[in-house]
A and B are shown apart, each in its own frame.
Chain A
Amino acid sequence: MAEAMHECKYNPGFMRDTLIPQVGIITDIRTETPDVKTFRVEAPNGGKLFEHMPGQCAMVCAPGVGEAMFSITSSPTNKLYQEFSIKRCGVLTEYLHSLKAGDEILVRGPYGNNFPVETELKGQNLLFIAGGIALAPLRSVINYCLDNRENYGQIDIVYGSRSADDLVQRKEIEEVWSKIPGVNVHLTIDRPQDGWDDHVGFVPSYLQELAFDTNRTAILCGPPIMIKFCLQGLKEMGFAMEQVYTTLELRMKCGVGKCGRCNIGTKYVCKDGPVFRFDQVDALPNEY
């Protein structure tokens, strides 16, 4: 054992860059809602900084301000750039919201696992359920599935937010997703509002009204309280926990399962997640 531990072998070219970011240029900023902006990021010489799979995340850093993990909201089928939809809710996000197109940031990744779009989800009917900013991680899966439409069955997207103004990616939802055959978008807002003639009510109750059959795989992301009630609803509809996927979100610093922050039970959310099936989530200590 002594021999093995002292003569460690490593690849000098590979390792260091796990903590060292790349420079990315913000090439476009879209204001989605009063507190959410979508940032388009490209490499300095154009193109993507790296390849990723739907559900994977990246560390976005503003030097001197902070660094945090964000899901990559664009689909890997987009060959030109990557996008992050970021809600203003802390020091770093406040700063990011003050940036303009042309400004540079630092990005490292991709980190974590991904939704099993090429395995378990393939050939399935899919039910996406999202609340508020949680559409961000699902958007990359949705667009991946829409760009490989022949590989997936019927797609239902149930999406809600506090008000019509808080719906993220509304233009894409209405002008692209809603127009694709076999895709049904079900939007809802918490309270009635002038000019809104779609559904009104919380996502969990709307989900119950829609009464989906269990011949589909569900992907559920949102605030904890929404997840709790939606999951309860899905169980009542007969869904097995193995049929429902979600993402977990804990504090992260390294992104590679070493700094210890996102450790929960035997898992590191940054490395073993963020995507988990609910039977896997149930097996974790109740600490998320």
Chain B
Amino acid sequence: MYKISKENLNALYAAIAGGNDLFLPVKNAGQTNFGLWTESADVDIDTLKTVKSAKDIFFPQSESLYQVRRQDGKLEIQGEALREKPFVVFGIRGCDVKGMEVLDKVFLSDPVDGYYAARRQMGTIVSLACGRPETSCFCKVFGVDCAEPAGDVVTWLVGDTLYWEAKTKKGEALTEKLGNLLEKADTADVEKEKEKIHAIVERLPYSNLSLEKWGAAAADQNFDSPLWEQLYSPCLACGTCTFVCPTCQCYDIKDYTTSSGVQRYRCWDSCMYSDFTMMAHGNNRTSQMQRFRQRFMHKLAYFPANNNGMFSCVGCGRCVDKCPSHLNIVKVIKAFEKEGQ
């Protein structure tokens, strides 16, 4: 294990950014989100949760797939170049790293999504343990240990010291590059920090949600429950929950007409929107209840049924914080937990 004092972090960022693009939490107009490091960036690793998750970096909100040029009536396709330059993401929390694992199931399953796979291949993840988990957090429910997140490198901010431990070959390679910026450290402070974090997690209000009513078997059981009608009604269909979610992966593919042809791009979409399933001849989910149900059934039943029980929720709590109607996955889980009792 290594350490570096907090006041030297800018030197660390500069050293990482010397050979790679470095993405990390940056404060902009009062909001903290992952952004590219520059010397003038207002880096903010004290805010626990970025507004949007880190999924943007691997699965951008909008990205070009290919260009089509039209010349003398002939079409010519030019695929977008895949990411070839290595990069580092610093400061991802345990829930968001788990979110990557969920996205991997989607984008790296056959047929592999090349754009995503290239970024996964080129990216090194430096995660950051959560010193002060918040009341909206419930990652423990989904098997995430926010005191010891996954990642190529794991870091802990204890007081004015950042502790650094490489966990994979990629992580070791990055650590080597940083040379004498990092100094050897013992693990005592980190062990104490982990205990402190675990004690906080135990006291969080949602840490003991029961998933007993969910998982693969729920795919058949919960669809027709009368609870959906009761739960969905405050939903405004704004889609905020899907945009801040680290695991929501639904996307749209669209065209943008440029001066020289057409650019085909994909962008995040939301199953909460009424036109998500609309076809020329009809729509198979015409009510918001159906769309609301689809989102939670997918995360808590369909996805686990197709992925050996892995849920498509990581308990980051962003939807809990951001929903304008105070609707969220916790309410859904709790409602089903109470049902039949």
Residues of A in contact with B (beta carbons under 8 Å apart): 1-3, 5-8, 10-12, 14-23, 63-68, 89-91, 93, 102-106, 249-251, 253-254, 256-261, 263-266, 283, 285, 287-288
Q: Are B66 and A251 in contact, CB atoms less than 8 angstroms apart?
A: no
Q: Are A251 and B264 in contact, CB atoms less than 8 angstroms apart?
A: no
Bound complex: CA A108 to CA B75 (Å): 14
Q: Are B253 and A254 in contact, CB atoms less than 8 angstroms apart?
A: yes
Q: Are B112 and A14 in contact, CB atoms less than 8 angstroms apart?
A: yes
Q: Are A16 and B219 in contact, CB atoms less than 8 angstroms apart?
A: no
Q: Are B290 and A258 in contact, CB atoms less than 8 angstroms apart?
A: no
The 5 closest A-B pairs by CB, nearest first: A90-B280, A260-B250, A16-B114, A15-B114, A63-B262
The minimal Cβ–Cβ distance linking B141 to chain A, given in whole angstroms, is 18
Interface flags for B105-138 (1: CB within 8 Å of A; 0: not) read 0111101111101101100010000000000000
- Residue pairs across A and B with Cβ atoms less than 8 A apart, 9 shown, are A16-B82, A18-B111, A18-B113, A63-B75, A63-B255, A67-B253, A89-B280, A260-B271, A266-B219
The minimal Cβ–Cβ distance linking B4 to chain A, given in whole angstroms, is 22
Q: Are B279 and A7 in contact, CB atoms less than 8 angstroms apart?
A: no
Q: Are B121 and A16 in contact, CB atoms less than 8 angstroms apart?
A: no
Identify which of B75, B125, B167, B253 gathers the most chain A CB atoms within 10 Å of its CB.
B75
Does B77 belong to the interface (CB within 8 Å)?
yes
Residues from chain B with a CB closer than 8 A to the CB of A15 are 111-114, 117
Identify which of A5, A23, A90 contacts B104 (C-beta below 8 A).
Answer: A5
Identify which of A1, A16, A93, A250 contacts B79 (C-beta below 8 A).
Answer: A16
Identify which of B115, B168, B255, B279 contacts A6 (C-beta below 8 A).
Answer: B168
Contacts known (A6-B170, A8-B121, A63-B264); A106 close to B75, Cβ less than 8 A? yes
Residues from chain B with a CB closer than 8 A to the CB of A288 are 284
Interface flags for B188-228 (1: CB within 8 Å of A; 0: not) read 00000000000000000000000000000001100100000
Residues of B in contact with A (beta carbons under 8 Å apart): 65-66, 68, 70, 73-77, 79, 82, 100-101, 104, 106-109, 111-115, 117-118, 120-121, 125, 150-152, 167-170, 219-220, 223, 249-253, 255, 257, 261-262, 264, 266, 269, 271, 276-281, 284-285, 290, 294, 297-298, 302, 305-306
CB closest residue in chain B, given A11: B112
CB closest residue in chain A, given B261: A63
Q: Are B277 and A10 in contact, CB atoms less than 8 angstroms apart?
A: no
Bound complex: CA A21 to CA B66 (Å): 9
Identify which of B257, B262, B280 contacts A93 (C-beta below 8 A).
Answer: B280
Mostly helix, strand, loop or mixed at chain B's interface? mixed
CB closest residue in chain A, given B79: A20
Identify which of A93, A285, A288 gathers the most chain B CB atoms within 10 Å of its CB.
A285
Contacts known (A15-B112, A260-B271); A89 close to B281, Cβ less than 8 A? yes
Identify which of B77, B125, B168 contacts A23 (C-beta below 8 A).
Answer: B77
Bound complex: CA A277 to CA B80 (Å): 39
Q: Are B100 and A259 in contact, CB atoms less than 8 angstroms apart?
A: no
Residues from chain A with a CB closer than 8 A to the CB of B125 are 6
Contacts known (A15-B113, A106-B75, A266-B306); A261 close to B277, Cβ less than 8 A? yes
Bound complex: CA A23 to CA B69 (Å): 11
Bound complex: CA A270 to CA B25 (Å): 37
Bound complex: CA A263 to CA B107 (Å): 15
Residues from chain A with a CB closer than 8 A to the CB of B101 are 1, 5
Residues from chain B with a CB closer than 8 A to the CB of A18 are 111-114
Residues from chain A with a CB closer than 8 A to the CB of B107 are 258
CB closest residue in chain A, given B107: A258
Contacts known (A265-B219, A266-B219); A2 close to B167, Cβ less than 8 A? yes
The minimal Cβ–Cβ distance linking B145 to chain A, given in whole angstroms, is 12
Q: Are B251 and A254 in contact, CB atoms less than 8 angstroms apart?
A: yes
The minimal Cβ–Cβ distance linking B126 to chain A, given in whole angstroms, is 11
Q: Are A63 and B65 in contact, CB atoms less than 8 angstroms apart?
A: no
Residues from chain B with a CB closer than 8 A to the CB of A251 are 276-279, 284
The minimal Cβ–Cβ distance linking B264 to chain A, given in whole angstroms, is 7
Q: Are B66 and A20 in contact, CB atoms less than 8 angstroms apart?
A: yes
Bound complex: CA A140 to CA B37 (Å): 55
Q: Are A63 and B114 in contact, CB atoms less than 8 angstroms apart?
A: no
